[in-house]
Amino acid sequence: MEETTQKVLYSAVQPSGNLTIGNYLGAIRNWVKLQHEFTCFYAIADLHAITVKQEPALLRRRTLELAALYVACGVDPAACTLYVQSNVAAHAELTWVLNTLTYVGEMERMTQFKDKAARHAENVNMGLMDYPVLMAADILLYQTQVVPVGIDQRQHLEIARDIAIRFNNRYGETFRVPEAYILKEGAKITSLQDPVRKMSKSDENPNASVFLSDDRDTIMRKFRRAVTDSDDRIVAAEEKPGVTNLLNIYAAFKGCTVPEAEKAFQGFGYGDFKFAVGETVADALAPIQAEQQRLLADKGYLAGILKEGAARAAYAARKTLSKVYRKVGFYRGE
């Protein structure tokens, strides 16, 4: 197995809708923190995105917007490999091989598959079911050790580990077995309207999710309407999911702990508390939004980053794929 001095980290986001503060706090923010400690690959998962219907022109636009957002959030293209998943053919190629080590039954049991199949009953396509295998291919191609994600991706990470182990057992040591990296703060940001459910890009209720593209007024309005409870105590507790979520969001954006956040709001009523959380989020997002717009005005710069990223990723991925093809017995012309 290839030995590198620095550990490899891999993560991705789908360009399938407006990103929420959940995507930011659960994933991208941590990528920025870790980017100098690891050899990082950050992808825009467009192959994953088409497992639900996408408008082609919009998908293309969102892909570029997401690239700009990564950089605006602080992902350093000089320190990381930033690329579009479909630009590296090895992802689809390895998926095919890994499919043959994955059982239909285990895919049918995936929580996210069941959720999405229920929400898109008219379009339960093979890609939707195969989604975790493609994700395993993403991760395993780069001999990844660490995958920073939110809690909702834990089950997919487990499957990626199982598939890697299965392959290694059948064909000999080939893949590193990756670990999920889930930071407690921000790992599960929940809906502002139904705070036991995760905040999602695709929630039908526009007040449920705060998008990274929301302007200050919208953010303030959404927090003003956030569901809390009737007892007026600003503490994190299982029976207070709304207040707990707001404390989590505040702590994550402020870079403090939840107990510190509880202390900061001692004596506050819910109205003032929600106002303060809204202001904190709006203040944090404003510079990111401005930087994203600035970057989007320079399409040549973004195209350059993505082209270079794809070349670097393709080189690294090809090494693993060649090994896999050899191990499974594909004729390689020698």
Q: Which stretch binds ligand TYM (CB under 6 A): 7-15, 64-72, 121-129, 266-274?
A: 7-15
Contacts of ligand TYM in 137-176 (CB under 6 A)? 138-139, 147, 149-150, 152-153
Cβ of residue 29: shortest distance to ligand TYM, in angstroms?
A: 10
**For ligand TYM, how many residues bind (rule: CB under 6 A)?**
26
Return the number of the residue (44 or 101) whose C-beta is nearest ligand TYM.
44
Active-site pick, 116, 222, 240, 274: 116
Q: Is 13 in the site for ligand TYM (CB under 6 A)?
A: yes
| Catalytic-residue membership of 274 | no
Examine the residue annotation and report whether 198 is marked as an active-site residue of this protein.
Answer: yes
Distance CA(249)–CA(64), nearest Å, equals 27
Q: Identify the residue among 8, 11, 77, 174 touching ligand TYM (CB under 6 A).
A: 11
Please identify which of the residues 7, 201, 254, 319 carries the catalytic annotation. 201
Which of 69, 101 has the CB closer to ligand TYM?
69
Q: Is residue 240 among the annotated active site residues?
A: no
Residue 67 found at the interface with ligand TYM (CB under 6 A): no
Contact pattern from residue 27 through residue 46 relative to ligand TYM, giving x for each residue in contact according to CB under 6 A and a dash for the rest: x-----------------x-
In the complex with ligand TYM, which residue's Cβ is closer, 148 or 278?
Answer: 148
Q: Which of 116, 176, 198, 323 binds ligand TYM (CB under 6 A)?
A: 198
Token duo for residue 59 = 């998908």
Q: Taking a C-beta distance cutoff of 8 angstroms, is the pair 240, 229 a contact?
A: yes
Q: Does 14 bind ligand TYM (CB under 6 A)?
A: yes
Distance of alpha carbon 309 from alpha carbon 123, whole angstroms: 33
Binding ligand TYM (rule: CB under 6 A), the pick from 199, 208, 234, 251 is 199
Under the binding rule (CB under 6 A), the answer on residue 189 touching ligand TYM is: yes
**Which residues are part of the catalytic machinery?**
116, 198, 201
Chain contacts with ligand TYM (rule: CB under 6 A):
10-14, 22-23, 25-27, 45, 48, 135, 138-139, 147, 149-150, 152-153, 186-189, 198-199
